[in-house]
Structure 1
Amino acid sequence: MAEEGEDSKFNSPQPPPFLEVACKSLGKISRFAAGTRAGFAVSLINRKLEAGAPLVSHIEAVKDGEEPISFGPDAILVDYSNGWKLQTVTELDFGGVRKAESIRLIPTQAPNLQIFEGRRPAKIVPKSGVSFLYIAKILLAFVLIFVLGAIFTVALENLPRLILLINSYTN
């Protein structure tokens, strides 16, 4: 019986030792070990891109006539075989979507947005522009400073009269 168990180990279909991802921006195929996270693969592919080339946002499994399967940053890349191919999706594939609204930007409440690809932050994108509310707060602060200054000026100018008035009531 021990021999049957050993034979089944050798005769069972083995998964390929690597996965191939077709990169549109590079025009090449990148290979990754089985069990690689999609975010890590995207990070490595983006590092190989030339300046000005569209960044890869995520990886999809595609097959003619089927809805694509998207891999999130923490998903493990899987080869579905039977006509399914892994390929990259670039920011340009989202027609009309601005870079700041891209899928890669996750937190929207923080003043500095961190983009995580794999385990390390890839890029920090500051919020752009000065809002109307920010300018209004600055103007309100200046008005309050001038009002407070005027109150102290009037109080200090009238302090000698106030002291004389208090002294006249006490005497």
Structure 2
Amino acid sequence: MAEKSTASPTPQTPSPLPRRRPSRVQYVEVECRSSGKTRRFAANTDARSAVEVINMRLKKEEVGLPAALHIEAVKDGEEPIVFGPNSILVSYGDGWKLQTVTQADLFPTEEIRDRDVGRISKQAFDSGVLHPKKRASKPFRLLYILKIVFAFIFIFVLAAIFTMFLDYLPELILFVK
């Protein structure tokens, strides 16, 4: 007759990959200079993603505050370490802190800030996060068109004067002799 098969529980085989123990630092803290809040990010977050999240929250929660351009690690008496867009955020230990940098931080005086800062920051930090304000296209104005027409008329008048001068040049030479 037919035998009954009994299913025995399968023993769990050990995974061929070693188990990763969680590292000591599981997150990185970044201080937002615009809002003063500290944001936490996972240990392997790239700088572009962190800046995008910070700017998104600034736009949503604190309207009117300047957007972050990039992230840098700072410590008193040390040169800041700037994180590029594809850099992984890393905490450097005691005394070092990660913070955002805004246009106001880069260009503290108002006269420089009011200039074409979008162009400068786009060249300096091409991270995909920066979107300089597009200039609004101005419609053609009547004065602009009149200036162009005047320039063409002036060119034709000047050409006519030179043509007449060249036509009468042989007579002028004979008169002088």
Q: Which runs of 4+ in 1 moved over 4 A?
A: 135-144
Q: CA deviation at 1:37?
A: 1.4
Alpha-carbon contact 2:48-2:127 (below 8 Å) kept? no
Picking from 109, 113, 136, the partner of 1:98 is 113
Q: Distance in 2 between matches of 1:22 and 1:129?
A: 37
Alpha-carbon contact 1:115-1:124 (below 8 Å) kept? no
- Structure 2 counterpart of 1:105, one-letter code: K
Structure 2 SS opposite 1:67: coil
Point out the structure with the larger strand share. Answer: 1
Structure 1, unpaired ranges of 5+: 1-5, 108-113, 145-171
- Normalised by the length of structure 1, the TM-score is 0.56
Q: Root-mean-square deviation (CA), in Å? A: 3.8
Picking from 38, 61, 71, the partner of 1:59 is 71
Q: CA deviation at 1:57?
A: 1.5
Q: Distance in 1 between matches of 2:149 and 2:46?
A: 50
Q: CA deviation at 1:66?
A: 0.7
State how 1:115-126 maps to structure 2 within 5 Å. Answer: 116-117=128-129, 123=131, 125-126=133-134
State how 1:120-139 maps to structure 2 within 5 Å. Answer: 123=131, 125-127=133-135, 139=147
Alpha-carbon contact 2:84-2:127 (below 8 Å) kept? no
Structure 2 SS opposite 1:58: strand
C-alpha change, 1:142 and 1:43, in structure 2 (3 Å) is farther
C-alpha change, 1:76 and 1:18, in structure 2 (3 Å) is same
Number of paired residues? 126
1:76-109 C-alpha deviation (Å, 9 max, x unpaired): 21111132111111221121332632554239xx
Q: Distance in 1 between matches of 2:36 and 2:79?
A: 23
Structure 2 SS opposite 1:125: coil
Alpha-carbon contact 1:38-1:76 (below 8 Å) kept? yes
Structure 2 SS opposite 1:46: helix
- 1:79 and 2:91 correspond: yes
Structure 2 SS opposite 1:25: coil
Alpha-carbon contact 1:38-1:77 (below 8 Å) kept? yes
Partner of residue 162, structure 1: none
C-alpha change, 1:138 and 1:38, in structure 2 (3 Å) is farther
Structure 2, unpaired ranges of 5+: 1-17, 153-177
Structure 1 SS opposite 2:85: coil
Q: Distance in 2 between matches of 1:20 and 1:69?
A: 15
